[in-house]
Amino acid sequence: MSSSVAPAKVSTIEEGTSQPKIARPAPYAGSNISANSKYPEYTPLKNANTTKQPALVEIPYDDRALYADPALPNLLPTLKLASKEVGLEELSPKFGSVVKGVQLASLVDNPKAKDELALLLAQRGVLVFHNQEDFFKLGPGGVTEFASYFGVLHEHQLSSTVEGHPKLLGLTGKGFSQIAKYRNSTSSTGFHSDVTYELQPPSYTFLSLLEAPSSGGDTVFIDAREAYDRLSPGFRERLAGLTATHSGVEQHVGSVKAGVVPKRDAIISSHPVVRQNPVTKRKSLFVNEEFTRAIEGYKKEESEALLGFLYQHLKTSVDFQIRALLRQYSIVFWDNRSTLHTATVDYDSDATPREGFRLTVTGEAPVENV
């Protein structure tokens, strides 16, 4: 039941400079989490893990959702559903759900329930769990092991990570006016799928919040499956067979300017404009303004016109978007293959920072037909 890995074109961008020697990060550097935080062990450290790495290579990926019982008897037992001890609350009819009554920490030794979690996630696209403090108590090693059940975890080459846990990407966030990159922007919105420039972009992402504003800081998601389905048959036919380049170069350059020591060289990969999910078999648009650069084989003006339409279609059609309200100890899972997302920095104070961590599972190389 393994998903085949299709070859993709990849270009490596050499840095041309030797790796600078850096000092060991000071505890709690680069984060709003204080030394007195209840869970300081999750504090991200800038340049905490900077060992130079070779380019990523293709690896097998076997989606755990393919082994799940479609009835979800271990994740959502019938008796508990009947008594409303557990349940699903739809964020929209076709997309996104809040899972109630399930503690993720209780699934640690329950592989069947985790397989069903992956299936439900592939089906609904986004799952939100609230009041999950027990999950945080597992510690950085425990939460990393939990996520590793679903596949090989991706290690980001640029972002701050938890010391000793290079796959655990730290998230720190201040208010809009305190974030340098927004000083010349009217909006914090930036819809994307995670690291689509990689040869094998993530399948599933786990975002967990240790701290959150009393209001705001939510994550908005786009259902890229519904976005594809809304297109006319003729337009979908026009997209068939097209590929686009996805670049990590700009993110790389910006991070280096900010003092980040890259762990890998930047790359440019080629992926289909439309991809098919190996679990649900549904197709979705697979382009985003953050990383997609050009339609291959098209002239510049042609590529910009087509991508411009797709970007507008995705980000302005609020009837296939959801807003996931996240609070302290909330955890949101999403399927990167079928969704785009953006944080919303709609609060303007660093008194209640948006702090947490992210874990991403390396998925299959995108293909148009599985």
CB contact burial 328-357 (16+ within 10 A = b; e otherwise)? bbbbbbbbbbbbbbbbbbebeebebbbbbb
What is the Cα–Cα distance from 133 to 91, expressed in whole angstroms? 22
313 neighbors 223 (Cβ within 8 angstroms): no
Does a structural domain hold residue 356?
A: yes
pLDDT digits (tens, 9 = 90+) for 243-262: 999 999 998 888 888 888 88
Does a structural domain hold residue 13?
A: no
> Within the chain, where are the H helices?
78-82, 111-124, 133-136, 139-148, 224-229, 233-239, 249-257, 300-316
Q: Which of 29-33, 54-58, 208-212 shows the lowest mean pLDDT across its residues?
A: 29-33
The proportion of the chain whose per-residue pLDDT surpasses 90, expressed as a percent, equals 68
Q: pLDDT value at position 160?
A: 82
162 or 194: which leads in pLDDT = 194
What is the Cα–Cα distance from 125 to 161, expressed in whole angstroms? 26
Q: pLDDT value at position 322?
A: 98
Whether residue 365 has pLDDT greater than 70: yes
Instruction: Tell the burial category of 48 from Cβ atoms under 10 Å away from its Cβ (0-12, 13-18, 19+).
Output: buried
Confidence of residue 316 (pLDDT cuts 50, 70, 90): very high
Q: pLDDT value at position 52?
A: 84
SS3 per residue for 80-129: HHHCCCCEEEECCCCCCEEEECCCHHHHCCCHHHHHHHHHHHHHHCEEEE
Q: pLDDT value at position 346?
A: 80
183 or 250: which leads in pLDDT = 250
Q: pLDDT value at position 187?
A: 73
Tell me, what CATH number does 334's domain have?
3.60.130.10
The pLDDT of 56-76, averaged and rounded, is: 97
Whether residue 6 has pLDDT greater than 70: no
How is residue 215 written in tokens?
């209001």
Does a structural domain hold residue 170?
A: yes
The pLDDT of 154-167, averaged and rounded, is: 87
- Dihedral class, residue 280 (left if φ above 0, else alpha if ψ from -120 to 50, else beta): alpha
Confidence of residue 18 (pLDDT cuts 50, 70, 90): very low
The number of distinct structural domains making up the chain is: 1
62 or 1: which leads in pLDDT = 62
User: Which residues form the domain of 72?
Assistant: 29-362
How is residue 104 written in tokens?
């993720």
Q: pLDDT value at position 82?
A: 97
Q: pLDDT value at position 163?
A: 84
Q: pLDDT value at position 11?
A: 53
What is the Cα–Cα distance from 46 to 160, expressed in whole angstroms? 5
Does a structural domain hold residue 24?
A: no
Whether residue 212 has pLDDT greater than 80: yes
Does a structural domain hold residue 3?
A: no
Does a structural domain hold residue 22?
A: no
**CA distances (Å), origin 257, targets 55, 156, 251, 298:** 21, 17, 10, 32
For 236-282, strand residue ranges (E) read: 243-247, 266-272, 274-276
The pLDDT of 341-368, averaged and rounded, is: 86
The proportion of the chain whose per-residue pLDDT surpasses 70, expressed as a percent, equals 85
The pLDDT of 73-81, averaged and rounded, is: 97
Q: pLDDT value at position 214?
A: 81
Give the highest mean pLDDT range of 84-88, 159-163, 215-219, 247-251.
84-88
201 or 214: which leads in pLDDT = 201
Q: What is the mean pLDDT of the chain?
A: 87
> Within 167-299, where are the H helices?
224-229, 233-239, 249-257
Q: pLDDT value at position 104?
A: 98
**CA distances (Å), origin 153, targets 21, 210, 229, 239, 331:** 26, 21, 30, 31, 17
Distance of CA 54 to the CA centre of its chain: 23
Does a structural domain hold residue 353?
A: yes
Secondary structure letter of residue 192 according to DSSP: B
253 or 279: which leads in pLDDT = 279
Indicate if the alpha-carbon torsion angle 122, 123, 125, 127 is positive or negative.
Answer: negative
Does a structural domain hold residue 12?
A: no
Whether residue 25 has pLDDT greater than 50: no
Q: Which of 27-41, 102-116, 193-207, 283-297 shows the lowest mean pLDDT across its residues?
A: 27-41
CB contact burial 197-216 (16+ within 10 A = b; e otherwise)? bbbbbbbbbbbbbbbbbeeb
CB contact burial 85-122 (16+ within 10 A = b; e otherwise)? ebbbeebbeebbbbbbebebbebbeeeebbbbbbbbbb
210 or 189: which leads in pLDDT = 210
